[in-house]
Amino acid sequence: MTKAGDNQLLDVRNLRTWFRTDKGSVAAVDGVSFQVKAGEFIGIVGESGCGKSVTSQSIMRLLDEKRRVRYEGEVNYRGENLLNLSPSRMRSIRGNEISMIFQDPMSSLNPVFTIGKQLTEAIRLHERVPRQAAKERAVELLRLTGIPAPERRMREYPHQLSGGMRQRVMIAIALACRPSLLIADEPTTALDVTIQAQILDLLGELNRSYGMSVMLITHDLGVVAEACTRVLVMYLGQIVEEAPVNELFARPLHPYTKSLMQAVPTLDSDRGRALPAIEGSVPTLHEIPPGCRFAERCPYADERCRGPEQPPVVQVGDGHAARCWYVGSLEEGGTRDDDCA
């Protein structure tokens, strides 16, 4: 949705990721477009199943081994379309230029190798350095990510570390080759709130101190408010709203964004009163409705929303856009202006 800029690092244009299933092909990501600037910290938020993780995995081309996947569109990194690269060229970009950390470090770390072995292996995979130099670099990375006694942790196995320390190890591995873009896919979901805050502080410090761009994928609006400067809201494979984070929380334009925010508990919430919930559930990819994809769950939807034509993306101000027929016409109380109904 955003316009290209001079310091643009990543430019995703009309990305579609198709999966072949027994019931036919489905697009888990359908026409997604956005940009990431150098040194920017953006968030992608939405319910489970909305396409956040598939978007990030498509950028990294981690789905290539699945022979039932097909990409369309462009993923331009520094002017080079990643979707057209050979497997060997793409492997050189992973880790060196773009790195990724995942939600569950226990499923990403090898339980039979020490932390030091896995970290030095990641360094030597991309850089031709002696083993001793790689070990020294690994200790510095562990120290950078805030792990105490890094020399001792090098000799330990993943099960000997806490959840927070394992996630820090994953961040250290992702930083091994000083990438320009770090994709963090739900990095704090399995952690308690104190450790969540520490991991977010660490990502923010890396972003500020090293100019590293960060793309944070989460379902938690509180995490977005704390960490990000710009946010994309996804629903059923599409971006339905994009805005600077302060603008989004002050003036959400899409009914889905409004519903997500209303479902977040606050200190001012009435005690004993149930939080508002979004009616229904996210349709499966085989059951995508015509027209607006949120229409069946939207309290404001009318026949136009359920019609055959998808709503357009409407720009409202600088960097704020939403995919809705009635952008700007929904009042604070949830009604439409008479001339827009």
Q: Write the DSSP string, 145-204.
A: TT-SSHHHHTTS-GGGS-HHHHHHHHHHHHTTT--SEEEEESTTTTS-HHHHHHHHHHHH
Kindly report the pTM of this predicted structure: 0.88
Hey, which residues does 17 pair with through a beta bridge? 29, 71
Query: 19 in helix, strand or coil?
Result: strand
Our CA dihedral for 330, 331, 336, 340, rounded to 10 degrees, sits at -70
In the block, which residue shows the tokens 């040194």? 39
Q: Which of 188, 183, 201, 181 is nearest to 44 (CA)?
A: 183
| Pair 253, 316: CB distance under 8 Å | yes
Domains of the chain (ranges, CATH numbers): 8-97+179-268+275-340 (3.40.50.300)
Looking at residue 1, what is its pLDDT? Answer: 56
| Pair 33, 1: CB distance under 8 Å | yes
What separation in angstroms does the CA of 218 have from each of 2, 43, 46, 127, 206? 20, 7, 7, 31, 18
Mind listing the pLDDT tens digit of every residue in the chain (341 residues)? 544 455 899 999 999 999 998 888 999 999 999 999 999 999 999 988 899 999 999 999 998 876 689 999 999 999 899 999 999 999 889 988 999 998 777 778 999 999 999 999 989 887 888 999 999 999 999 999 989 999 999 999 999 999 889 999 999 999 888 899 999 998 887 778 888 888 899 999 999 988 999 999 998 898 899 899 999 999 999 999 999 999 999 999 999 999 998 877 766 655 666 777 788 888 899 999 999 999 999 989 999 999 999 999 999 988 999 999 998 776 444 444 443 33
State the sign of the Cα–Cα–Cα–Cα dihedral 329, 333, 338, 341.
Answer: positive
